[in-house]
A and B are shown apart, each in its own frame.
Chain A
Amino acid sequence: MKKFLSIALGILAAIGGFVDIGDLVFNVQAGAEFGFSLIWAVIIGVVGIVVFAEMCGRVAAVTGRPVLDVVRQRLGFGAGIVTLIGSVLLSVLTLGAEIGGLGLVAELFFDAPYATMVLLGAAFIGLVAWFLPFEWIERIFGYMGLCLLVYLVAAIDLTPDWGAVGKGFIPSVPHSSIALYAYFVVGLIAAALMPYEVYFYSSGAVEERWSVKDLNLNRVNATLGFGLGGLLSISLMVVAAVVWHPLGVQPDMIGTVALAANVPLGEIGLILALVGIAFAVSGAAIDTAFSAAYNLAQFFGWEWGKYRRKRDAPRFTLAWVIALALAYVIVSTGVDPIQLTEYSVVFSVVILPLTYFPVLLVARDRTFMGEHVNGPVASFFGWLYMAIIVVVSIAAVPLLIATNAGGG
């Protein structure tokens, strides 16, 4: 019973921790621009992260190796260092976007200057990451992120045309704005497949000393945690489709995301949305800071781990502190966090193949995985998603330029 409760709590934390600023921005913008018609792209992204998170967790449990270790081992130093540089840069950019997002939400809550809120937000993230144990961080931010379920309630309360919602699950091609539509397809898939999520997930699995006994836990966590987290993404899109699409509103502020919950549910909806967004972006900020430090430490063979005392892993600790400081510097230049999010999500697509391909190779290699090697289903989805990832990574930057980063 105790174990079941522990698993259930872990899943709840994973659901609440699924959404980050990239999901908030792309899902709401896509719903406002194209109604329900891009739900299928969210599904593709969510199934993709379930497939690869399960694979990464399994590789970590069986071999004791996190993702970047696998990347370096299978692709060699050259490709490994490219992946490392790309992933660390993207983690810092994403961290900047999350801190900026936190600053915006705090400004909306307290009507205080944005610059002050960003500074306090970065300090809050740093203090939490420094003092709280790993499990507490995961649970607190995951549970509080569940406030975003207000969008599921709002979606139901708005009584959308469920037939039209159902049609959104089937891929379709619009009559106009094809490039913009394709840009959002790429953005929605990329937002769900952000590499830092699997770096963090697999490093967490190694930190928590997962073994083959935990493979079922891994499967349940990846499938239900990420899968049900995807429900939040779809809810955001449905709410934006009902509230903003008919009015022709182009949401490019965090306040617009929150206002969408205010419309059907009043002040309580607004407050839950703001709290949920604040904890979702804070949790993601901590994940990305650690992700950058995990990758550097794993690549260069430093001692690493949140469970270690700071003096036992000094370079790991210094790495996440520097990542946080750099992200703060980036966002305090006045760059728009929403634009920063769009760029970091789209550019993350470029390193997706370098992240996921080695994982797929190791997960199907019997010499590493023994009897826990990919079965036919995991192999099928693994290769299918590699093909999708390659197509998306080729299309991402041209679409970013062609659509003026979604500006049309």
Chain B
Amino acid sequence: MPGTWPHRVVVVLLALALALPLAGCEPLSAAELRREVDTIHSTAAEASVLADQIAGQRTKRTFARVQARELSDAAEHSAERLTDAHPDDGLLSQTEDAIDLASQVSTAAGELETAPDDADAAADAAERLRKLAAQSQRLSESIG
């Protein structure tokens, strides 16, 4: 019967059950987007340093491969998180840019993982990663 306490308990439980999944769908704020873009920037910058070491043949092969994989995965996770997020009004274009940057960083770091001995490819990747790091920094600064 409506209004009795068992009914109210059921309503509250249902409301909670609905609220919990919705809590994960909170819109992505500018601060959260900037934090994620800063993470992408950090990953790109570190991957460019690693690529420089590979290009100069100054590092250990297994280390280069594993660290490149970690960095590639980190960038890919950033892209996934941003793809799943629901950005605030006005942040859609910047979120799409961030996803694109993260995907490019993941690809470039993935190339280092695939060929940790290839100095020429690493030099090329280092250059691209430096540009991606600079782009992500500019994107971060543009987020209000």
Contacts and interface: CB of A to CB of B under 8 A. Distances in A.
- In this complex, the interface size class of chain B, counting residues with CB under 8 Å from chain A, is 20 to 34
B45 A247 contact: yes
**Chain B interface, DSSP helix/strand/loop, else mixed:** helix
Given A107-B66, A248-B137, A250-B39, A259 B60 contact: no
Interface in A20-48: none
A256 interface: yes
B53 interface: yes
Given A253-B67, A255-B66, A270 B38 contact: no
A102 to B, nearest CB: 15
Interface in B20-75: 35, 38-39, 41-42, 45-46, 49-50, 53, 58-60, 62-63, 65-67, 70
Interface in A26-74: none
B79 interface: no
Nearest to A253: B70
A258 B67 CA distance: 10
B42 A249 contact: yes
Given A111-B62, A266-B58, A408-B35, A248 B42 contact: yes
B117 to A, nearest CB: 13
Interface in B90-104: none
A208 interface: no
A249 B65 contact: no
A108 interface: yes
A267 B58 CA distance: 5
- In this complex, the interface size class of chain A, counting residues with CB under 8 Å from chain B, is 20 to 34
Contacts of B45: 247-249
Nearest to B57: A267
B105 interface: no
B112 interface: no
Given A253-B67, A259-B67, A407-B35, A248 B41 contact: yes
B62 A250 contact: no
A110 interface: yes
A253 B133 CA distance: 18
A108 B53 contact: no
Given A248-B41, A249-B45, A262-B53, A111 B59 contact: no
Contacts of B60: 109, 267, 270-271
Given A249-B42, A259-B46, A267 B59 contact: yes
A109 B49 contact: no
A189 interface: no
Interface in A320-354: none
Contacts of B38: 248, 250, 408
B15 to A, nearest CB: 26
A259 B66 contact: no
Contacts of A384: none
Interface string A242-260: 0110011111010110110
A263 interface: yes
A59 B46 CA distance: 47
Interface in A210-246: 243-244
The 4 closest A-B pairs by CB, nearest first: A255-B67, A111-B62, A247-B45, A266-B58
Given A249-B42, A408-B38, 18 more contacts: A108-B67, A109-B62, A110-B62, A111-B62, A244-B46, A248-B38, A250-B38, A255-B66, A255-B70, A258-B63, A259-B67, A262-B53, A262-B59, A263-B49, A267-B59, A267-B60, A270-B59, A274-B63
Interface of A: 107-111, 243-244, 247-251, 253, 255-256, 258-259, 262-263, 266-267, 270-271, 274, 407-408
